[in-house]
Amino acid sequence: MVAEPALVVARLARMFEDVGIRNFIGGSFASSLYGIPRATQDVDIVAGLNYEHVDALLRDVAGLLKVQEAHLDNGYLDHWAPVLEVMDLLGRARAEREA
């Protein structure tokens, strides 16, 4: 069963807040919640990450990968991770998921 998008976004926001990362949700997803509903298949998240957040965030992302694995577009992750220069972080999160 695929979780409701709003629940997934709320979980991500809570994960950020739990480790002290300032964040906000924007784009069509946010405007659909607070204004006129629009069809969208993505969420725009801005997060103020620092190096001290990495380990805690990796644990949370690994948990999300484990729970949502069947519903994730791994091709999308594999495409964008090198473009965004976070392939090592995705690899660490995947390894943590297996632990």
Q: Is residue 54 located within the same domain as residue 99?
A: yes
> E strand or H helix at 62, and its extent?
helix 54-68
- Residue 68 neighbours by CB under 8 Å, 6+ apart: 3, 8
Q: Is residue 81 located within the same domain as residue 97?
A: yes
Q: Is residue 24 located within the same domain as residue 6?
A: yes
pLDDT digits (tens, 9 = 90+) for 73-91: 999 999 999 999 989 989 9
pLDDT digits (tens, 9 = 90+) for 27-71: 888 888 777 777 777 788 898 988 888 888 888 889 989 998 888
The pTM score is 0.56
- Cα-based angle 48, 77, 8 (whole degrees, multiple of 5): 60
- pLDDT for 91 equals 93
Q: Is residue 28 located within the same domain as residue 68?
A: no
Q: Is residue 54 located within the same domain as residue 43?
A: no
Range of the domain at 70: 50-99
**What is the mean predicted confidence (pLDDT) over 22-26?**
89
Intra-chain end-to-end CA distance of the chain, in Å: 24
Domain count, the chain: 2
Q: Is residue 11 located within the same domain as residue 39?
A: yes
Last residue of a domain, one of 28, 48, 68: 48
